[in-house]
Structure 1
Amino acid sequence: MENTTNQKLAGWEVARDLEGKKKTVWERMIPEWRQMRAALGGVGVFFLVFLLGCWLAGNPFEPTVRIQSPYSVAHGLQGNTWHIVWSVVLLAAFFEFMDASAGMGFGTALTPILLVLGFDPKQIVPVVMIQQGVAGLVGAFLHREFENVEWKFKPMSETVKLWFIIGVVGCLAVTVSIVGIYKILHVDKVWIKLYVAALLLVMGGASLFQGRKERPYRPKRMIGFAALAGFNKGVGGGGYGPVVTIGGLLAGVPVKSMLAVTAICEGTVSTFSIIVWLALLTSGVQIDYLLLPSFMIATMFSAIAAPYMTRVFPEKLWKIVVPAYCLVVAAICFWKIAPGVIAKLSGG
């Protein structure tokens, strides 16, 4: 009886109960009406942010400008001119689906790709923050509706406690990194990307070899992971989800519920980082919302489908998929930054 009570307070028992009640993929594939209604509500939220993005992309405020990045120059984008970048929509749709279903990959993998395509960091990072803020909070709601997690406040579940721990530490870390990198220090981005890629490689490998077995639950481990993830998020918009998700698995949190915890924590930290960016605008920093409409079109359906797929496939599959995908993301990062690293080492 005592074990049952403790499990009830965890917040991840609902996913195990669902797999016990609906044992096959086909049974879990059939959603209930309330879940379909929740998915439609999520689409509506993303559509409203898409409309907001269209307005912001027109540079309605003085601190919002069309940054003359290589992409903007090549396409003759000046002043208030903007368009939907369909290649970015396709890339963002794929990485958002993987981010929301495997807990990582949107900012981490997409940011270096967009830099290679010719976009400026100030066209990417603030927009990633907005997208991840909205997608994370909506995703946390959908994970609950699809029975991947429970958020209990009375009595407080372990999932809510993790949200508070990771969210508060992450907000502090993201503030330090945004202000430090974009306002005070001038660290070359190639070294930051190399650090993030190496970190993902180590964490993905550790989780793949150790994450299959049951681990004792140790929530205090998440303080360090949360600080590291928040620093990564502020620096380049990515490297948050992999650290929090893999850290949670190493701390003993079941994978399905950890994906939901990552979603709500990333949504919280990203939303807070938007406030930090807005504060920086008052000190002369300028940003460009060119990519926001493209990101939100991509997010509109990918972020809805991902929590549903987390529900459908069994826990044991995600224990392999999540760390394996972390290694894939690390490989993509290394591939994209290799030319820049070689050039720096050769004195270029």
Structure 2
Amino acid sequence: MRLIAGLAVLVAGACATACTGTATSGRVPGGGAGTTPGACAVTDKLIPTCGAWWGIAPDVFSGRGPIRAVDMAERRMGRRADIVHVYHRGGELFPTAEEREIAKGPRLLLVNWKPALDHTWAEVARGDVDKRVDRLAEHIRRTFPGRFFLTIHHEPENDVREGGGYSPADYVAMYRHVVTRLRQQGVRNAVTVMTYMGAPNWAAKPWFGRLYPGDDVVDWVAFDPYADDRVRDFAGLVDKTRPDAPGWPGFYRWMQARFPAKPIMVAEWGAFERRGAPGFKRDFFESVQRQIADYPQIKALVYFDSPLAPRGDTRFDTTPGATRAFAQLGRLPRFTSTPVPPS
């Protein structure tokens, strides 16, 4: 893979080089330059050669605009985000003007797009929304030359139905068609992400392995785990197992075996409030500090920050202890070593 900075050439598939390593230079938590400029770089697939990206989906479901939400989240956690996760559906055009302003940080956009809620996957795959895709491609070419992450119809597992246009084969065909169409229309700056739910019960389905669209259209693999009542620490989050999914090794272990050459993104993660355990979030964030080094293939950690998440409050600063632990986590050298490239 060609480095943006032109510093080196990484052997294709050598994730042991691009997807591991510890920080060799640092950044001021607010985003300033580090002490050894050029020691850490970013590949053309937005893989940091040192450490991992620190990201956030800020204040989700609050109704605040993205600029205000990002500003408030960064003030609360005491540093600038490397990645900002935003969501779009159907014919919405992105990046929006506000999202383009956010990217000037510099920050990387992670755009989560469901191309069609009014068509099946099979219909999208056969071209029924090509005009929508082409209109988006023209918008991206005209307004946003910078690289960005793009995940297409994330967490497809609970939408799968055999027949009716929502089979695993239909998902693969839809994903491949959209990526190929965007590329044909001149979009060369989208770094594609395949995002799984991260839930063992869905991973145990017999069709689960057939959802992957293919290495030629997927640059990163991702999953969206949450710290439910079964989870005690970060290790239990990223390698979650369940009694009703016997034999499932956990998502990180599965991804290591299935995608050894791909960087892994935790595209959403969050800790819910626990009744009778006011210190849980603090303890959980402290476990991430202790354990993140055990997961070198994770190259981006993007927190889902919301008071109104479907299963509870995932805000990282609901107690003073949680606030301190989360801020300390974001200041680890692992998350401050590679500067975000200008958009």
TM (norm. structure 2) is 0.25
Whose strand fraction is larger, Structure 1's or Structure 2's? 2
TM (norm. structure 1) is 0.25
Whose helix fraction is larger, Structure 1's or Structure 2's? 1
